[in-house]
Structure 1
Amino acid sequence: MVGILAETTLSVNDGPLTSDNATYLRPSDPNLPLDELRKRYDEDGYIFLKQVLPREDILEARRRYFEFLAPTGVLHEGTDPVEGVFNKEKSEQDYPGIGAGHADGNGRPGGESATQFVDRAIDAHYKDWYTKNVVNHPALYDYIAKFTGWGESTLTFKRTLLRNNIPGSKPIGVHYDQIFLRYGEPTAVTAWVPIGDIKINGGGLIYLEDSEPVGQKIENEFTEKAKKAGLTEEEAKFAFNSNMMATGLLSESPAEFAKEHGRRWLVSAFEAGDVVLHKPHMIHASTINNDQDNVIRLATDLRFCDSSKQYDKRWMNYYRFNDGV
């Protein structure tokens, strides 16, 4: 593993990931017995499912996305849009990503030169080739409904995070999702879906080993402090969020964070059709996109809940800047 990680220039904001602070995600065959899959999910805080979605459907969504963004000059001239090869003659500063860690809070990233790209990246969230063929893909919905046991009570949140990650751009910082799902019970399931193949050093998602208890501990400790300070439950929610970094993150330094908690980051390459499900307090981040072929990393965060229980209804609106989530 040392040689493999060294050769692939796998790194985060504050340094490399090596065999000292990283190991591999455990892949799972989605056709394994449900009891075994649920056991892995409960033990690990995530489950890395191989080829849950039809590969051709995901690649078609990738093609449509980059065809839509092509007028911004983001793609290398003469390449097939489905490849998503970045135009090296451009600056990554003009093609910022969106979501956790990319702007102050949930504000608009980039300057005036990035306006067209950012507008199209947001508009892509509303296109049928994304909403129908990825977010509400029946193969994923049916699998989530079966895996969770929620059945017809399974609800897909309309708010999603369709993120591009240009080679060399800022990766996603350390966080867990319940920070952003504050107004619901901590039972939601996140489905991270790579839209295209992602090399191990291509900016994919990484998970902190055995970190569901760490996220719960962080939240419980702060909640207790808030109660002792005399805050109401509603005040505590706002206080917790304001106690995070301005972006809602736990840290911008994944290597240091892992060392502090005596854990390793779990990494992998991903293929179109793969899906990773994770729990609300599972701590994760992403690596720097060091893809040697300048491939843009594209992925989305989809979230599901049991509609018979309390859930964060702010997530039933499409993603928009400064929406308070």
Structure 2
Amino acid sequence: MLTSNGYSLDTAPARMGALTPVPDEERHDRDALWARLRRDGYLYLQGALPPDRVTAFRRHYFQAMATTGLRERGRGHPDPAAVRRVLFEQVVPGPVYDAFCTQPAIRDWYAWFLDAPVFLHRRKIIRHQRAGDTGIGFATQAHYDLVYLREGTDRVLSSWIPLGDCPAARGGLVYLEGSHQRVRAEEQDGRLRRPAASITADLPALADKFASRWLVADYAAGDMVVHSPYMVHASLDNADPDEVARLSTDIRYQRADDPIDWRWQEHWHDRDGL
């Protein structure tokens, strides 16, 4: 049973499905990728990054957190203040994280895909979730990214990257099938101008409202999902039986010549107001 913020997802075929990877024959076909992104709202790129680069950054993260009580495996007794201090003062602004987010497998791919010089938003987010943390507030609630990026272009693209293997039970990202088409239409018609906030924690109810399915995957180290700013997504609770922490990052690239949301040009902090 998969849950998100304590809500059990409906596993009926009409409400749950599998995230579809980009097939090998399309991986180097830019037109085919754009057609897929417009149709599906996401590109699931399996093995896009060197797995050893991903696992090395995961190791760096938990080594940095060693003094806080946060562990890669097991619940432990982390000190929340110490975790925030290491995260926001050391890891997020640090050179190791910057090098990871600008590695050729990411930056060069975006430059090729966007066919232009690219810009990486400085505000980059890292999320960890311990196994067994359930209830509203632990998993990422359903939302779409444009509500947080309205001061720039709507052609910004998000990359969600699991930092290590992330089977569904470990709390990976899920996408609401076809939601980008409905959200885009309502935004453009002026019928939907949501504030910078999540839609809901109740994923089953939202799937019913959209008459759609949550798309789930067992991610591996090296995978990357690129998604539209209109695509509704959320994360699952971490119910890993081996009590392995879920670690992931989401970063945003766009063409450098498109309007840039100035609010995203400082390092991420939990008090940055976004």
TM-score calculated relative to the size of structure 1: 0.77
Q: Distance in 2 between matches of 1:33 and 1:41?
A: 12
Aligned residue number for residue 230 of structure 2: 281
* Post-superposition offset of 1:155: 0.5
* Post-superposition offset of 1:166: 1.2
* Post-superposition offset of 1:266: 0.4
Equivalence map 1:185-264=2 (5 Å): 185-220=153-188, 223=190, 240-241=194-195, 248-264=197-213
Query: 5+ unaligned residues in a row in structure 2: which ranges?
Result: none
* Post-superposition offset of 1:218: 4.3
Aligned residue number for residue 18 of structure 1: 11
Equivalence map 1:78-93=2 (5 Å): 84-87=72-75, 89-90=76-77
Aligned residue number for residue 164 of structure 1: 128
Aligned letter for 1:324?
A: G
Partner-residue secondary structure (3-state), 1:277: strand
Q: Distance in 1 between matches of 2:96 and 2:115?
A: 28
Matched, 1:130 2:79: no
Q: Which has the higher helix share?
A: 1
Aligned letter for 1:182?
A: R
Aligned residue number for residue 240 of structure 2: 291
Matched, 1:114 2:80: yes
Query: 5+ unaligned residues in a row in structure 1: which ranges?
Result: 1-8, 76-83, 95-112, 226-236
Q: Distance in 2 between matches of 1:70 and 1:218?
A: 46
Partner-residue secondary structure (3-state), 2:169: coil
Q: Distance in 1 between matches of 2:83 and 2:120?
A: 27
* Post-superposition offset of 1:32: 4.0
Q: Which of 159, 167, 175 is residue 143 of structure 2 equivalent to?
A: 175
Percent of residue pairs identical:
29
The runs of at least 4 consecutive aligned structure 1 residues that moved more than 4 Å come to none
Q: Deviations over 1:199-256 (max 9, x none)?
A: 12110000000110222244345x458xxxxxxxxxxx8xx42xx6xxx101111111
Partner-residue secondary structure (3-state), 2:59: helix
Aligned residue number for residue 39 of structure 1: 35
Partner-residue secondary structure (3-state), 2:168: coil
* Post-superposition offset of 1:128: 1.6
Q: Which of 20, 38, 48 is residue 44 of structure 2 equivalent to?
A: 48
Aligned letter for 1:48?
A: Y
Aligned residue number for residue 109 of structure 1: none
Is residue 11–residue 17 contact of structure 1 (8 Å, CA) maintained in 2? Answer: no
CA 1:200/1:157 → structure 2, altered by over 3 Å: closer, same or farther? same
Is residue 4–residue 201 contact of structure 2 (8 Å, CA) maintained in 1? Answer: no
Computing the radius of gyration over CA atoms, which structure comes out larger, 1 or 2? Answer: 1
* Post-superposition offset of 1:125: 0.6
Q: What's the RMSD between the two structures over aligned residues?
A: 1.8
* Post-superposition offset of 1:147: 1.3
* Post-superposition offset of 1:307: 1.7
Q: Distance in 2 between matches of 1:115 and 1:16?
A: 32
Partner-residue secondary structure (3-state), 1:201: helix
Q: Distance in 2 between matches of 1:43 and 1:283?
A: 14
